[in-house]
Structure 1
Amino acid sequence: MTEQPNMDAGAATGTKPLAFDRWLEHFRGNPAYHRLIEADIDWNGRSMLDEPTRQAFINSFQRFELGESGDGKRLLSKAALEGDPTYLAALELLVREEQKHSALFRRGLDHLEAPSLEAHWSDAAFTVLRRALGLRTELGLFLIVESVAMGYFTALAERAPDPVLRGIGLRIATDEQDHIRFQIDRLRQGFRNTPRAGRVLIGMAWTVIAGGAAAVLAVDHGPALRACGLSPARYWRQAMVGFRRAAHSVLANPGAEPLGPLGKGVH
């Protein structure tokens, strides 16, 4: 995948770059909505899960908590070079939301009476890979990971056999559906001047990575998926549908109008 030195096509062509004012306003308003969702979670409620199910969610939450815990410094430093202060401010708020997801998974682990993990091979491999990439390709990697994980968060929100875990799933899924749209809007800008043939090749590479990422999630989180009534095989198929939809939205017509925030609730 060839990395373009600057994602801001407007800087090179003299056209006006994509405005991220709506996104900045959206992220600034999210904390109040987050508090409303979290107020409905009975954090003091006792988990009544049987031991195998409890252990399934412990293993799953430990891995997600670790994956969401990064500080985003390298990503933000790359974004700062693009010369769009509004986008950078919005991205900083998105990174804070991801860090809050890590805190939510920790609260879930507290509810399940379990500790956090210090390290896991999947998180280490993802960290090494993304640090070696330029901004556009790193955002593409985040789009892949978030789009394939969305099915897990939705299943957690709708069918987890514990009300606290369902509340955590709803809280995170509500954010992630807009995080995906935010990445799509920025990646469209990044691919605006990429020829169709190049975008086709990139789409093929993304599909291979997405298939692997979905398979890792299906294996690592299989017991938790089953506890939510979703087989790993069915999850994988749904994850790939979600990924293809996101990738098509970026690569098929990068000159399309920005999506903007979807709004509150899980769609």
Structure 2
Amino acid sequence: MSSQVESGNWSDGFRTRAVQRTEGSDPPWSDGSRLDPAIVRSLQKFQVGESGDGAHLIANAAATGDRDYEAAARLFVAEEQNHARMLRILADEHHHVPFQIRRLRLGFRDTPAAARIAIKQIWRAMAAAVIVVVALDHGRAMRVCGVSRREFVTATMRIFDDSATSVFSRADTSDRH
């Protein structure tokens, strides 16, 4: 069975959210707001990361030959760029993680079990390093929000572990959520 059939219509969800974004109004920017300086610095760093052009991701998606996946990757990048502009993040992120899990599960479905275990452990080490750097770099903003660095690291590693387990499971790779 081809990956095009198994991948489903991933771009549909991204298109729906793109229409919802155009139908919604922007926040009342002129009202202003007061944010703790630590939050402002953290958001500024976040915006830099979200505003990239996604060329590498799109090229890799195109290389799979799955046109719907390529379209979904382009729409995913557009959503991320919109996050940088709007900072309306959480609702969209609930869709991004399952989208990536399904695609990665497809990509690793034929990988031998020993290699899957090794890759998962390498990813976990890399994720832990990145999560610690984020906790150190954004710790003041986290404290302002009432979250300790330890709580952030623990919760984020739990999310990573759950996601990695889903990626490397032998579950049905044709799910289309």
Q: Which of 151, 169, 177 lines up with 1:234 in the alignment?
A: 151
The one-character-per-residue Cα deviations of 1:1-20 (angstroms, maximum 9, x if unpaired) are xxxxxxxxxxxxxx232233
- The yes-or-no answer on 1:46 pairing with 2:39 is no
State the secondary structure of the residue aligned to 1:44.
helix
The aligned amino acid for 1:32 is V
Q: Which residue of 2 aligns with 1:24?
A: 11
2:57 aligned to which of 63, 72, 75 = 75
Q: Which residue in 2 is equivalent to 1:131?
A: none
Is 71-80 or 177-186 further displaced after alignment? 71-80
- 1:63 and 1:254 mapped to 2: Cα distance? 37
SS in 1 for 2:32: coil
Letter in 1 for 2:30: N
Aligned to 2:90: 173
Q: Whose helix proportion is higher, 1 or 2?
A: 2
How many Å separate the matches in 1 of 2:176 and 2:144? 34
Structure 1 length-normalised TM: 0.61
Judged with a 3 Å threshold, the aligned counterparts in structure 2 of structure 1 residues 249 and 182 are, in CA distance, closer, same or farther, namely same
Matched position secondary structure for 1:71: coil
Amino acid at match of 2:54: G
Tell me the CA shift for residue 203 of structure 1: 0.8
Q: Please tell me whether residue 34 in structure 1 is matched to residue 21 in structure 2.
A: yes
State how far apart, in whole Å, the 1-side matches of 2:12 and 2:169 are.
28
Q: Percent identity?
A: 38
Q: What is the deviation of 1:247? A: 0.3
User: In the alignment, what sits opposite 1:57?
Assistant: 39
Count of matched residue pairs: 175
Amino acid at match of 2:18: P
Q: Do residues 182 (structure 1) and 99 (structure 2) align?
A: yes
Task: Please report how far the alpha carbon of residue 256 of structure 1 lies from its aligned counterpart in structure 2 after TM superposition.
Answer: 4.2
d(CA) in 2 for partners of 1:186, 1:204: 19
5+ unaligned residues in a row in structure 1: which ranges? 1-14, 105-167, 261-267
2:67 counterpart (65, 82, 85): 85
Q: Residue 251 of structure 1: which of 168, 171, 175 is its match?
A: 168
Taking the aligned partners of 1:254 and 1:212, their CA distance within structure 2 comes to: 28
Partner Cα separation in structure 2 for residue 35 and residue 86 of structure 1: 22
Q: Structure 2: give runs of 5+ residues left out of the alignment.
A: none
The structure whose RCO (Cα within 8 Å, separation 6+) is larger is 2
Contact 1:24 1:89 survives alignment (8 Å): yes
User: Residues 252 and 94 of structure 1: is their aligned pair in 2 closer, same or farther, counting only changes over 3 Å?
Assistant: same
Q: CA deviation at 1:31?
A: 2.3
